[in-house]
Amino acid sequence: MSRLSDIIERFIKELMRDANTDMLEIQRNELADHFNCAPSQINYVLSTRFTVDKGYYIVSRRGGGGFIRIMKLDTETIPFVGYLIFEHIGDSISQLDASRILANIEEKGIITPRERAIMEAATNGRSLNVFSPPKDVVRAKLLKSMLSVLITD
């Protein structure tokens, strides 16, 4: 008996293939119903099979009319970025190396100077300099840092 998670994974991928799209919106409960499983099973599938590392990006919203949007990253469009994400960067990277990458892809015209600045802001030491981080505290620093780029000349 093939694992349920695998079946759901295949199902989602087939939906995308059949609809010939890189973006799919599902209702968690509906899908869970379809497979007769706990809704949280869907979360499990998404968080193990549809990660950035595996080439997917997820956005969702709760409440009435909520949804889960699954986006497939298009590695054809910018192969170099795909290479960076899936092969080059790995599980850990120094600030210096990150900065080099950003400079490089800006020079290649893949990102604008402003976008580079945003990413520098997010990844520099100042933003990430927290020890035991209440997540929101980190996030606030990150966001402020990124926003400040917009008003710096």
Partner DNA sequence: TAATATTAATAGTCAAAGAAAGTCAAACAG
Partner DNA sequence: CTGTTTGACTTTCTTTGACTATTAATATTA
Q: Which residues bind DNA (CB under 7 A)?
A: 1, 3-6, 26-30, 37-44, 48, 58, 60-68, 94, 96, 125
List the beta bridge partners of residue 57.
71
Window 92-121: residues binding a second copy (CB under 8 A): 92-95, 98, 101, 110-111, 114-115, 118-121
Q: Which is nearer to a second copy, 19 or 147 (CB)?
A: 147
| Burial class of residue 70 (count of CB atoms within 10 Å of its CB; 0-12, 13-18, 19+) | buried
Amino acid at 141: K
d(CA 39, CA 16): 20
Q: Are 120 and 148 in contact (CB under 8 A)?
A: no
Q: Which does 149 bind (CB under 5 to 8 A by kind): a second copy, DNA, none?
A: a second copy
| Burial class of residue 37 (count of CB atoms within 10 Å of its CB; 0-12, 13-18, 19+) | middle
- From the centroid of its chain, how far is CA 29? 22
Query: In the chain, which ranges are E strands?
Result: 23-26, 56-61, 67-72
Q: Which does 71 bind (CB under 5 to 8 A by kind): DNA, a second copy, none?
A: a second copy
Q: Does 125 bind a second copy (CB under 8 A)?
A: yes
Question: Residue 63 carries which DSSP code?
Answer: S
Q: Which of 81, 106, 108, 109 binds a second copy (CB under 8 A)?
A: 81
Phi and psi at 68, nearest 5°, equal -125, 125
Residue span binding a second copy (CB under 8 A) among the ranges 12-20, 36-44, 64-72: 64-72
- Residue count, binding to a second copy (CB under 8 A): 69
What are the residues binding a second copy (CB under 8 A)? 1-3, 6, 22-23, 52-53, 57-59, 64-65, 71, 73-75, 77-78, 81-82, 84-85, 89-95, 98, 101, 110-111, 114-115, 118-123, 125-126, 128-140, 142-153
